[in-house]
Structure 1
């Protein structure tokens, strides 16, 4: 009988089930029993016997038998058995030494929670400080655009609201603007910036712009045209960069006033004499036109004041175009 016939005989077998006997537990190999059918017996005799590999209980070199017991050290590594340890009270987890509550674990948990809380609080404070310093710049710039637009419209409606006064001329009495009103614009070419200046130095007045001390001279007048501004990136953040002879230019409805820096100083907030008609000389009558700018010092704090003084060098009508100093 050829191979095809023998296999066909197997396929035509009408046995309901085929049983494989259990392998004795101590037998290293398993031999599938032969069936009584002659064709099957002949096929199985010609088929290689299936032999299962011998199973040994010897662990490999990389394995360690699991056994209950206390954690121990091997080659500097702590080995923690995975099985629980049986005690008189019952079974105890081998990890209980590491998870049970102790004074040390409570102290560590409290310290860790306090540290995380302080770090979170510090990040919130830093983010708030960053917003106060840089985040408000966009808001201030937007308000400055509105104030400058308002100033241009005001000048167009009343082109002669501010008189032109020579540095050596007598002071001219003019009506004081209302607090919050826009009175001029100040340009500092060194900083490549300009600001609309409002009347008043209250926190509400100088929130978005430098403010003019109401009791000091107006732009171009004999005396001390004094202003205060916040030490923020959008206003007078870099005022300390101004050196001697740097131009500070003030524009009114009809005149450009070109001042030049003469000195700078750092004083206490109580040093109000810096905005006197003659700076630092209260009671003395002025004979020249001065300009003073004050701001907080140092940056990020306000326990001092940075003060920059300048004197009027020349003026020119707005109708004559922009002054040469405006371009640095």
Structure 2
């Protein structure tokens, strides 16, 4: 009968290999769980928290404006009384391109300047954006900083562009994925869809006019007073007007390019 002799050195090497394999497996499982938790945090938790915070801010703005509604309407009536009387019989102005409506543009700008407060502070939420087609209602804050504005689920106003209802380009940015992702589905907006912007003094309604599916993240032309892409010049406008610009990242889950949706102001009414 032959006896198999197993040296202690061989046993130790086998034990070390088993220990290494076991430890490596535990590390892989741990890393996998951490990555899964990170994905859940980014795709679910940040959206949940940002959306809840944005909803609370919308409610806070509505309460604030409701408390001061009497003063606002009083100021608007006073402003109408100082005008030529063109707006006294109608709650809204039609913003066309003919000469007959140009005076109403100017009268509206003057009235808005009288009834509005000082310019919003950096990262201050001062308006509410509503897009019925997307069932979206979110705050608009000054600036496009990520921690202070966009990561809160807010929509950010590009500094240097016009304020809502004013002649020029009122330009906004919002996340398409994570952090509330308010602009995730703006690619679904079609010509004629409405977008409302509410401020303390008025409600402005824009109609979606055209979409630029993809352009460079550095295409500053889309933010100009008369917005027109410098990368794809066939997209945009040539004449001054009252414009709305919505921008977000594209394709989804990347920030390589920008998707742009444009609209024109079609009406306004005092709050």
- TM-score, normalising length: structure 1: 0.58
Matched, 1:241 2:216: no
Give the distance between the partners of 2:194 and 2:34, measured in 1 at CA: 40
C-alpha contact (below 8 Å) 1:134/1:232 kept by paired residues? no
Greater displacement, 269-278 / 174-183: 174-183
Give the distance between the partners of 2:53 and 2:159, measured in 1 at CA: 21
Please tell me whether Structure 1 or Structure 2 has the larger radius of gyration of its CA atoms: 1
Map of 1:257 onto structure 2: 204
Cα 1:121/1:182, change in 2 over 3 Å: same
1:303-322 aligned at under 5 Å gives the runs 303-318=256-271
Unmatched 5+ stretches in structure 2: 80-91, 96-101, 231-236
C-alpha contact (below 8 Å) 1:222/1:286 kept by paired residues? no
Map of 1:140 onto structure 2: 50
Query: 1:112-138: CA deviations, max 9, x gaps?
Result: 754653453243223212211221222
Map of 2:220 onto structure 1: 272
Q: Which has the higher helix share?
A: 2
1:66-145 aligned at under 5 Å gives the runs 85=3, 92=6, 101=13, 113-114=23-24, 117-145=27-55
1:269 Cα deviation (Å)? 1.8
Map of 1:215 onto structure 2: 160
1:185-196 aligned at under 5 Å gives the runs 185-196=128-139
C-alpha contact (below 8 Å) 1:289/1:311 kept by paired residues? yes
1:299 Cα deviation (Å)? 2.0
C-alpha contact (below 8 Å) 1:249/1:259 kept by paired residues? yes
Give the distance between the partners of 1:116 and 1:226, measured in 2 at CA: 50
Query: 1:158-208: CA deviations, max 9, x gaps?
Result: 526899876341383744211122221111111112111111111212221
1:164-183 aligned at under 5 Å gives the runs 167=95, 168=102, 169-170=105-106, 172=109, 174=113, 175-183=118-126
SS of aligned partner of 2:165: coil
Aligned pairs, number? 227
SS of aligned partner of 2:138: strand
Unmatched 5+ stretches in structure 1: 1-67, 70-84, 319-328
1:290 Cα deviation (Å)? 0.9
Give the distance between the partners of 1:286 and 1:201, measured in 2 at CA: 27
Give the distance between the partners of 2:34 and 2:167, measured in 1 at CA: 49
Give the distance between the partners of 2:36 and 2:220, measured in 1 at CA: 33
Cα 1:122/1:306, change in 2 over 3 Å: farther
